[in-house]
Amino acid sequence: MFSLNDTMRYFLCPGKTDLRKGMNSLCGLVREKMGYALRSGDVFIFINRNRNTMKLLHAEEGGLVLYIKRLEQGRFRLPSYDDKSNSYPMRWSDLVLMVEGISENPALRQNRLKSLRKSD
């Protein structure tokens, strides 16, 4: 079952990732570039060069899950890099804020495509 929540650890892969890569190639990045074990239960986040597409890779009981988010408008704002973890360690709330384009400074909120609703 799909189960991302605030009890998990989240790590954003440093640098730009070619998001044509599938699960196996992303697993290799987790192991080789980030130095983590995929089966740890952590969630690994990958962002493309344009910062408008994100993939989340997560190993759960029974297999791997890959989530994809592509922005129609705006870009993902990246958190600060941590040299010790060779990543951008994040909390669930950081991921939600990044996906929604919310900044601590309301004037810096990122543009996101508004939901399409039919007029009454």
**C-alpha to C-alpha distance for 53 and 69, rounded to whole angstroms:** 6
Q: Per the structure, how many domains does the chain have?
A: 1
What is the greatest pairwise CA distance in the chain? 54
Give residues with Cβ within 8 angstroms of 4, minimum separation 6.
Answer: 43, 56, 58, 67, 92
User: Which contiguous run of DSSP H or E holds residue 69?
Assistant: strand 63-70
Residue 23: its pLDDT value, please?
Answer: 92
* Residue 19 token pair: 């998001």
pLDDT profile of the chain (120 residues), mean per 10: 81 90 94 88 93 93 90 83 75 84 60 54
**C-alpha to C-alpha distance for 112 and 101, rounded to whole angstroms:** 7
Residue 45: its pLDDT value, please?
Answer: 93
Smallest CA-to-CA distance from 98 within 52, 66, 29 is with 52
* Structural domain that includes position 91: 10-100
pTM of the model: 0.78
Q: Kindly state whether residue 112 falls inside one of the protein's structural domains.
A: no
Q: Kindly state whether residue 57 falls inside one of the protein's structural domains.
A: yes
